[in-house]
Structure 1
Amino acid sequence: MPCNQSNHSNQFSSPEINLIIKLTFPLSTVIILANLLTIIGIIYNRKLHNTPNYFFLSLLFADLCTGLALPFIPSMSLERYMKFSNCLILHIVPNFLFLSFLFNLVMVHYERYFCIVHPLQYSNFWVHRYVPLALLTVWIPPLLYASLPAFGWNKRPQNQSCEECSYNDVFPREFIYLEVYGLLIPAILAIIFMTVRVLWITRSQMKDICKLHRSVQGDVPSDKEHRMNMRYAKCVAVVSLTFMVCWVPYIVYVNVSILALWQDKGKSSTEPQTHIILSCTGIGSMAIIPVILGVGNRQYTKPIRKGLRKFWDSCRMGNDVKDFTNVVVV
């Protein structure tokens, strides 16, 4: 039986598709450009060619792919008519890219966490010694898990050459629960734990430094102590704000989606527009995290800032030459 092309074309002209385009294209463009600039900054700075930045480059590449796939992720909740093989690709590829992004994010936090908690053992750390193997662990498992529906773990209707394509047909409920409670939530909890632990260690080290400084200089707090406390307070504020802006929308989106599955036995009871808004804001805000980490590091943006400064100076010099020419002519 041939595919229903008219229904398929109507799906792509639906208000849901227009809403996805309006929400995801600006955010996707920002994510792609920011990651490209940061990648260029790291590649052209030879001082940054070390193990931590190799992992961060992998994260940036995964985030770049997530930015490219961002417009397709909310559309997974829409129903359309196509061959089941195309339907699998439409769902598996974005899921794989998002899982690889999450695994890379955990690896970056884990590598920095181990460097701070165990600095003396860091040189013997397996992640530091076997970088290619560590990179494979953040790309191969997401690919294998995301490909399970292609190997038979799906709810494909039998004896149909062209079916209604939706995520309910590709991803069984057990697959979704395992991904959420076995991969996503543990990864988020691990990142939160490592971040809080690093902040706690930093705070205790600051207290030791202040005690040592006061034993030498006296009991009166110095300007250095005030600056250290201010920098720490700013760091905590930035981490808290990042969590509220980037993680909370995604956590809300995951919980709402799971609650909808529980209540409606596999079919989301959430309105399509509401589900699209939640998915766009949740996944899009989470994909902003590497952008914040990259832009916040001045070493990563140094080549870009140099290039922009040269461009600005050349523009100013051209304007000065024009003004001088006009004065001479007058």
Structure 2
Amino acid sequence: MHFITTPSLFSSPPPEDLVISPNVTYMAAELVIAFFSTTGNLLVCVAVGLNRKLRTVTNYFLVSLAVADICVGAIAIPCAILTDIGMPHHNLYLCLLMLSVLIMFTQSSIFSLLAVAVERYIAIFMPFRYQVLMTPRNAVLVILATWILAFLIGLVPLMGWHKTPPDTGYCFFVLVVDMTYMVYFNFFACVLTPLVIMFLIYAQIFVTVKQQVRRITSEQSGRGDGQIRTAASMRREMKTATSLFLVLFLFTVCWIPLHIINCFLLLCPRCYVPLELLLTAIILSHANSAVNPFLYAYTMTAFRDTFKAIFMCCRTVFSDNKSSPKPFLFSAHSLCMCCGLTWRIPQQSHSASSRL
């Protein structure tokens, strides 16, 4: 009788008498990540829905990213836990579908980040065309396109690019998903290429904005109100770009280790990968879905103030519910009424394209 805690290290089909022993620590970590990913990103969506000041094109793309992260917490992580113990058994297409959902949502996240980077590029380098190109309608169309494309990329294994499953019928990632798909198509073409493009975009943004701020600052004589406003606007653009770049940077840090392991498994299929290293890389990749709300709260004042207002509203509602002798129905309407505080949050009076 063979016991194992994860399928991911197999370089050949597992023995017939294999018995899967669940990794409790891994599952507990995944459940914690799923909770924070779902609740935190739901809070991001609620914040944008309640606060009109947050309804910008940039934030529409961040909401798309938040929805993908919610799906990771609510759908993809439970699927990952099930496939970690080899479920479902003897159902290849359901197995492939469960393994593909995380690829879909990850790809949607990448495309949302790419849309944010392009939107920032247009705002800085094509300011007079921004209002024409970056309308809410166009933003919705871009979001729909990113989700459709991500859906198609994730479904490629279901279309035939997969391995022949072992006779045991266990649903294990490396025994079902073809590593050539994961490395050459998914990583190199669909992950690494957009990441390189985004890093180049942000590098150009940082260099250009920094040069403009220095030029305006060096023009000491004859500075008018227009120059002062331009310098302030450039600094706000720099702060916004920095916050969004941090989101991209954390995504890269969280996901690249797992893709490197996939490359290693493809190029050296019989090489040993430590179990602890593999599980850490998997947990790190999933944890990325939970960190963005904390990053928004830390770096973006408008999000932070709206989060505070929502928590204050919920606290007030539940406090009134406990002290009131009459039953109180907690609903979305009551929350919106209470969150009238949100509209009184002080906001900086800069352009909608850079307001976060």
Q: Give the TM-score range, shorter chain.
A: 0.7 to 0.9
C-alpha offsets along residues 111-143 of structure 1, whole Å, 9 cap, x if unaligned?
Answer: 122212211121232776523321122101111
* Partner Cα separation in structure 2 for residue 120 and residue 233 of structure 1: 19
For the pair 1:186 / 2:193, whether they are aligned, the reply is yes
For the pair 1:270 / 2:262, whether they are aligned, the reply is no
The 8 Å contact of residues 79 and 165 in structure 1, kept in 2 or not, is answered as yes
C-alpha offsets along residues 226-267 of structure 1, whole Å, 9 cap, x if unaligned?
Answer: x999999988987887676553342222112211221116xx
**Structure 2 residue aligned with 1:27, among 33, 46, 49?**
33
Change over 3 Å in CA distance of 1:215–1:126 after alignment to 2: closer
Rg larger for:
1
Percent of counterpart pairs with the same letter? 20
The 8 Å contact of residues 247 and 286 in structure 1, kept in 2 or not, is answered as no
* Partner Cα separation in structure 1 for residue 34 and residue 162 of structure 2: 29
Change over 3 Å in CA distance of 1:246–1:180 after alignment to 2: closer
Query: Could you tell me which residue of structure 1 aligns to residue 330 of structure 2?
Result: none
**Structure 1 residue aligned with 2:253, among 229, 248, 251?**
248
* Partner Cα separation in structure 2 for residue 302 and residue 234 of structure 1: 17
C-alpha offsets along residues 49-86 of structure 1, whole Å, 9 cap, x if unaligned?
Answer: 34333222212111211233235447656645332122
Opposite residue 269 of structure 2, the aligned amino acid is D
Counting only pairs closer than 5 Å after superposition, residues 147-226 of structure 1 correspond to structure 2 as: 147-157=155-165, 163-176=169-182, 177-212=184-219, 214-216=220-222
* Partner Cα separation in structure 2 for residue 228 and residue 136 of structure 1: 31
* Partner Cα separation in structure 1 for residue 205 and residue 29 of structure 2: 35
TM-score by length of 2: 0.69
Opposite residue 283 of structure 2, the aligned amino acid is C
The 8 Å contact of residues 66 and 101 in structure 1, kept in 2 or not, is answered as no
Structure 1 or 2: larger helix share? 1
* Partner Cα separation in structure 1 for residue 142 and residue 249 of structure 2: 30
* Partner Cα separation in structure 1 for residue 169 and residue 97 of structure 2: 14
Opposite residue 248 of structure 1, the aligned amino acid is V
Of stretches 234-243 and 149-158 in structure 1, the one that deviates more from structure 2 is: 234-243
**Structure 2 residue aligned with 1:64, among 70, 77, 83?**
70
The 8 Å contact of residues 97 and 155 in structure 2, kept in 1 or not, is answered as no
For structure 2, the 5+ residue unaligned runs are 1-15, 224-230, 321-356
Change over 3 Å in CA distance of 1:133–1:312 after alignment to 2: closer
C-alpha offsets along residues 261-310 of structure 1, whole Å, 9 cap, x if unaligned?
Answer: 21116xx7313332111111134236524652365323234343224346
Change over 3 Å in CA distance of 1:105–1:70 after alignment to 2: farther
Change over 3 Å in CA distance of 1:246–1:181 after alignment to 2: closer
**Structure 2 residue aligned with 1:110, among 75, 93, 118?**
118
Opposite residue 26 of structure 1, the aligned amino acid is V
Deviation of residue 31 (structure 1)?
Answer: 2.0
C-alpha offsets along residues 150-175 of structure 1, whole Å, 9 cap, x if unaligned?
Answer: 222222349x7x72322234322331
Query: Could you tell me which residue of structure 1 aligns to residue 149 of structure 2?
Result: 141
For structure 1, the 5+ residue unaligned runs are 1-5, 218-224, 318-330
RMSD: 3.8
The 8 Å contact of residues 41 and 290 in structure 2, kept in 1 or not, is answered as no
* Partner Cα separation in structure 1 for residue 30 and residue 136 of structure 2: 36
Change over 3 Å in CA distance of 1:287–1:259 after alignment to 2: farther
* Partner Cα separation in structure 2 for residue 300 and residue 121 of structure 1: 27
**Structure 1 residue aligned with 2:282, among 273, 279, 283?**
279
Opposite residue 64 of structure 2, the aligned amino acid is S
